[in-house]
Amino acid sequence: MKTFDTIAELREQLDADRSAGLAVGLVPTMGYLHDGHSSLIDAAVAANDRTVVSIFVNPLQFAEGEDLDDYPRDLDADRGLCGAAGADYVFAPAVEEMYRRAVHTVVTVPGVSAPLEGVHRPTHFAGVATVCTKLFAIVGPCRAYFGAKDWQQIAVVTRMASDLSIPVEVVPCPTMREADGLAMSSRNVYLTPAERTQGPALRRALAAGIAAVEAGERDPATVEQVMRSLLAADAPDGAVEYAAAVPADTLVASGPLTGDVRLLLAVKFSKARLIDNDGVRAG
Ligand code: AMP
């Protein structure tokens, strides 16, 4: 496995690979990798001839006062996980390599960026869309693997690639969970022991919301209340930022639930902010 820290060298390698007829898979990450990331690497390795994992804590997607400086980092362990999962290349650029000058060009994806995460982290998706545009430009034509845990992120990146005619196929992958149901996340290390016991409540709240829809409930506010009640009882130390039951495509509530519905949660604990989601079909 080769590690690259410059854009030019990675681009040269991947251009040569594609010229040799090899298909490229990309797994964009912020590092501190866990089994959720491994599952994306597995999917990329299975479907492509060369897999590159990018490891870059992107300052642009953190707002003032968020955890940019504290974000956990361990490049040696990450390289070990990438190698064990069968990745061919790690791309781990310094901030100065990715952003050589003050950033003037920013990619925004209005609409799908606005609700849910967009309300609570208004600048986040512009940072994500900008760094993904750069990664797609650096890596070139490829398949790019993203986790369903960050459902709205997939919607933003898919729309961005489509609108800008970028020759990258965005491939969604299932959420990997701890044995008790907590979605794996690099930020789970921020949970206190008491909060860690409450984390799986998000999964149970989603299950309760899905059960309500499956039992015929079509009022989004009622489904949201079902999820909020469970969180109030089982995750009392968390503040619910949103609990939503929305159309899976627009992510904006519009009358009674119908078709593909997505349930999404964000809960803020003392330092960790947990998100999770799941889907259900409303007849
Ligand atoms: P991050 O390093 O947190 O920015 O995540 C990098 C990629 O891994 C994103 O596409 C995430 O959605 C994905 N990811 C994070 N956690 C999980 C998980 N528990 N299961 C599957 N994919 C995940």
The per-residue pLDDT for range 58-71, each reduced to its tens digit, is 999 999 999 999 99
Residue whose CA is closest, atom 17 of ligand 1?
Answer: 36
Note the pLDDT of residue 73. 98
Q: What is the pTM of this model?
A: 0.98
Question: CB of 54 closer than 6 A to ligand 1?
Answer: no
How far is the centre of ligand 1, averaged over its atoms, from the C-alpha of 277 (Å)?
Answer: 13
Q: Name the class of domain 2-173.
A: alpha beta
**Residue 204 three-state SS:** helix
Mean pLDDT of 206-212: 98
Distance from the alpha carbon of residue 146 to the mean position of ligand 1, in angstroms: 7
- CATH 3.40.50.620 domain position(s) in the chain: 2-173
Catalytic center residues: 37
Average pLDDT for the chain: 98
Amino acid occupying residue 261: V
Measured from the Cα of 187, ligand 1's closest atom is: 3
Q: What is the DSSP string of 205-247?
A: HHHHHHHHHHTT---HHHHHHHHHHHHHHH-TTPEEEEEEEEE
Cα within 13 Å of Cα(210), Cβ side: 16
Residues β-bridged to residue 107:
none
124 lines ligand 1 (CB under 6 A): no
Cβ atoms of 115 and 246 closer than 8 Å: yes
Q: Which of 30, 54, 149 to mutate to test the pocket of ligand 1 (most atoms within 8 A of CB)?
A: 149
Confidence (pLDDT) at 183: 98
Average pLDDT of span 149-160? 98
Ligand 1 centroid to residue 283 C-alpha, Å: 30
Domain 186-282 belongs in CATH node 3.50.50.60? no
- pLDDT level of residue 283 (50, 70, 90 thresholds): confident
Instruction: State in Å: Cα 117 to ligand 1 middle.
Output: 16
pLDDT at position 80: 98
pLDDT digits (tens, 9 = 90+) for 232-248: 999 999 999 999 999 99
